[in-house]
Structure 1
């Protein structure tokens, strides 16, 4: 089959938009016919799905098979509808295309769906039904059911075919969260300025594995979703969707003994947790996605919360990495150098900061690093890819740590609220993290 990559999806969409043979609706409506949005709430908002048409003549057998597989909803394995995007993130097609369908319908003068109580259709078909349902299922379970996540990894980022989750599944693995946020954003855009779907997707995701210059808009999804959503919106919409689900089968059984106050509390918790994990905290690319070698030996656990953060620049590579491909390559190069030349067990940093909008997992939250001699067990080492002796990282890369990673680490109990932030040069004989970056971090919270 073609790679499970957004490029393959865009090629399929482009071919479908060239023909009306066998199906007269839009591509998102075709996706719904194939099962892309077949839940009770989605049916209540968008109506019954169209009939499945015969294979369109403009698609190869392999393309049609891939498209039908990606849109077949498997409640037990929602990650199977996922594709790899050029920015290195993974996106579920179902909520993405459902959100775009709502946007296209709104642009065409679609009447507001007659659902009681009223819901925002754009949020209902992308995130609020699955989010509310996930937290309802956790309520009636044994207390160990996952409500969000996990992330996952592809077998081959150049020819992605199999995606494996990195932990216990929930109804909202990271791919579904990404697809939902993208569905909201692109649905809102399509409602204002409808353009061919292939052009919309290509403009948002870029192509390849980030081989184009500049960050694609998809790498800003968390920021843009927060701006579009605004305060309180997600909680209100989850609560409204739960009230709709109360009268729909089979979800009404889950809500039989849920009173009005508890319903509001469930919606609040669901919205808070989703916002914390997928909006306020930055995305971190796991080791398996950048092609990490195994750790040599046995890693030593950190005792959390830690009290310090040490800021570095990598110096070599000396140029910031601005695409997933380049940042993954830089991570592999640093790991090779640290293991083969330095003789360390692994890449030294806890986290590495790309200029592509993403953090990259080094030793991560839980394992002692090799970044600041004598202090590795006392704090996290965060390295910016590049040489920042005379220039600063991009403003987005600065904000990713200052306004994203550090507050998130405090809120999640990994970093003391009164943590100390220092540059590497304060802890040893080095110019790291470069004069420009050092003067920048002097203005950050916690610097001493």
Structure 2
């Protein structure tokens, strides 16, 4: 019985910190509860890649600190219901829960109700994405398909393809252009 209780307690801790697809939950990075939520119709067939234009991070503590600061800015200064992105990626190779798989984000005006926004911490005009962060996003996308959050024929685009921005930065954009689900011609999905 003691072993069962210990295993169960570890499972509860793991599920609190690492949710669906191994994502660090809001409880795991000490995030605030959203003020309001709108549910996202799934499966989603569009993934938008962005960057934060902040400093990068490679430690759990620093990445969580940056994610908390982003959420505070989004909610307190910009008036969003929650952190804007669906997921935030640290240079440490961890994915942090934002709006998540189930809720509409506020990452790309005109596309939020039909996409997942994945935001890399850093400025990828200058920084090079870490292998750990790229591998983590690829694993997240595979898991998203397996769990029915993403359609099997989803498309990946850079933020810059949909609105006037440099995001996700030249170096990250160059990387995602080589990914199998990358959509070069966005005319069929553009608002």
**TM-score category of the 2 structures, normalised to the smaller one:** 0.7 to 0.9
Q: Which has the higher helix share?
A: 1
1:78 corresponds to:
7
2:180 matches 1:445: yes
1:288 corresponds to:
27
3-state SS of the aligned residue for 1:420? Answer: strand
1:303 corresponds to:
41
With the length of structure 2 as denominator, give the TM-score of the two structures. 0.88
After TM superposition, list the pairs within 5 Å mapping 1:360-399 onto structure 2: 360-399=96-135
After TM superposition, list the pairs within 5 Å mapping 1:40-189 onto structure 2: 73-76=2-5, 78-80=7-9, 82=10, 151-152=15-16
After TM superposition, list the pairs within 5 Å mapping 1:259-278 onto structure 2: none
Q: Residues of 2 paired with 1:337 and 1:331: CA distance?
A: 10
CA drift at 1:390? 2.8
| RMSD of Structure 2 on Structure 1 (CA) | 1.8
3-state SS of the aligned residue for 2:49? Answer: strand
- The number of aligned residues is 180
Higher-RCO chain (CA-CA 8 Å, sequence separation at least 6): 2
2:145 matches 1:410: yes
3-state SS of the aligned residue for 2:119? Answer: strand
The answer for unaligned runs of 5 or more in structure 2 is 184-191
Instruction: Write out per-residue CA displacement over residues 284-327 of structure 1, whole angstroms, 9 at most, x where no aligned residue.
Output: 1100111111211x200011100100000010xx2221111111
With the length of structure 1 as denominator, give the TM-score of the two structures. 0.39
The answer for unaligned runs of 5 or more in structure 1 is 1-38, 40-72, 83-89, 91-149, 154-173, 175-276
CA drift at 1:79? 4.2
